Structure 1
Amino acid sequence: MIEENDTLGGTFPFKPHFSSGPGFRMHYVDEGQGLPVLCLHGEPTWGYLYREVIPILAQNNRVIVPDYMGFGKSETPQHLEYTARQNTDNLEILVKELDLHDITLVVHDWGRQIGGALALRQASRIRRIVVMNTMLSMGLPEEEICWTENSKESAWFGWADRAVANGTFEATLMNSGVAIVGLMKLLQGFERANVTEDFFRAYSLPFATPEEYNGVIAFPKSIVTGSFKAETGSESQISAVRAKPAMMIEGTKDKVLLAKHFVPVFKKGFPNASIHYLDQASHFLLEDEPEKIGQLILDFMKNS
């Protein structure tokens, strides 16, 4: 866990906020005023991923960026299960605690499962949806097909399958404190060239001790072993979510969630949505094109 007042050399200057509602100390950024923009990270990132987009969006909006348990500045509780459902429960508690409505929901990577489940449960609180290099999970058959086909070609899933088979998966991820940036670059992908000491600290410090590996191991392992099950919405819940204005932003150099598999699933669910391709961005597209992404979200909010 990163110390709450650590600004990482000034690269993360936001005042820390915490909720104890989920049963542990859950960190979130809360910047600006206006309609809420709820930004969800994935694996193995945290709110730091949004650091350059937050000031853009917060000029006229309230930007909330939570860290899941075991990530960023949030605690790593030992008494909770590290499942998508539990993380959704935690997020739902925070959303109700902050009394958020008319939410622009922004999801990346594992935000698809957690954000998708939140949208199914709390559709009345969601105004519009932004999906970045992922899809919005609602427990539909085409999602399972997408995962299966993607896993056959993805560099990350190829490594993960081999590592689970030969017993090195958990051992490798338990070295995340020193190896995480390398794994992010080689198997998932970002195009940013200036990997500074602050950048390395930001992504390695959350996994400094064995007690802090719960989240970084549990998420990917549940996919590779097949234990993960997306929260399934009812027909009416799914219809309510699909009625929302939606936009996709896709970094085309993604090595882990391949556009040719995920874009069609998004199109099927949101046939009227706009899709913006960023050809100089990879999986962690917020590290590559933050200014463009921030402006795309602002324009989308203005016009939907």
Structure 2
Amino acid sequence: LAARHPDRIRRVISINGPAPFGQPSLLERLTANAQVSPWFQWVARAQSEGRLDTVLGELGYNILSTLKLNGFENHACINNTWLRAYGAPFSTPDECAGAIGWAKGFATGAHQFEMPDAVARQAIQSKPALAIWGMADRTLHA
């Protein structure tokens, strides 16, 4: 969106995620990250075994195990309300389409990051930006 419509962006806030905006080494870093990330290792294995769609299509039921692969640690906060809150947006396989598509795109190498032109780069570089990163994140290592 920022590469195509920089005029629509007021600020950039990135939370534990790459902000791929013309970074030439991004693919190398993501590939290296996938080698040590339990989540990305599972995604690749599940896709190769034909289980990715089925498992992620039931996120409403298995959201906690999915979050555990990503490093979720605070078990004290888990109760029925917590489980309903995290699982509710993923009640059906159709509601899981975004999660499935994102994971499948990674596993199949289908994700493409647009390279901004000089005008878009200049416009975005002039915007306020904030990056928040948990150094203990097991999914996307800093």
Q: Would you call these one fold, judging by a TM-score over 0.5?
A: yes
User: What residue in structure 2 maps to residue 227 of structure 1?
Assistant: 110
Structure 2 residue matching 1:167: 3-state secondary structure: coil
User: What residue in structure 2 maps to residue 255 of structure 1?
Assistant: 138
Pairwise CA distance, 1:123: 2.7
Structure 2, unmatched stretches of 5+, are: none
Structure 1, unmatched stretches of 5+, are: 1-116, 260-304
User: What residue in structure 2 maps to residue 187 of structure 1?
Assistant: 69
Amino acid at match of 1:230: F
Q: 1:151 to 1:125 in 2, by over 3 A?
A: same
Aligned-partner Cα distance in 1 for 2:46–2:25: 27
User: What residue in structure 1 maps to residue 53 of structure 2?
Assistant: 170
- Matching of residue 149 in structure 1 with residue 18 in structure 2: no
User: What residue in structure 2 maps to residue 206 of structure 1?
Assistant: 89
Map 1:86-165 to 2 at 5 A.
117=1, 119-165=2-48
Pairwise CA distance, 1:139: 4.6
Greater RCO structure (CA 8 Å; 6+ sep): 2
Pairwise CA distance, 1:246: 2.0
Structure 2 residue matching 1:189: 3-state secondary structure: coil
Amino acid at match of 2:107: V
Taking structure 1 as the reference length, the TM-score comes to 0.43
Pairwise CA distance, 1:255: 0.8
Pairwise CA distance, 1:189: 2.5
- Matching of residue 239 in structure 1 with residue 122 in structure 2: yes
As a proportion of its length, which structure holds more strand?
1
Aligned-CA RMSD value: 1.9
User: What residue in structure 2 maps to residue 196 of structure 1?
Assistant: 79
Pairwise CA distance, 1:202: 1.6
Amino acid at match of 1:166: E
Structure 2 residue matching 1:131: 3-state secondary structure: strand
Taking structure 2 as the reference length, the TM-score comes to 0.86
Aligned-partner Cα distance in 1 for 2:110–2:31: 14
Q: 1:167 to 1:125 in 2, by over 3 A?
A: closer
Amino acid at match of 1:189: G
Aligned-partner Cα distance in 1 for 2:12–2:95: 31
User: What residue in structure 2 maps to residue 112 of structure 1?
Assistant: none
Pairwise CA distance, 1:125: 4.1
Pairwise CA distance, 1:142: 1.7
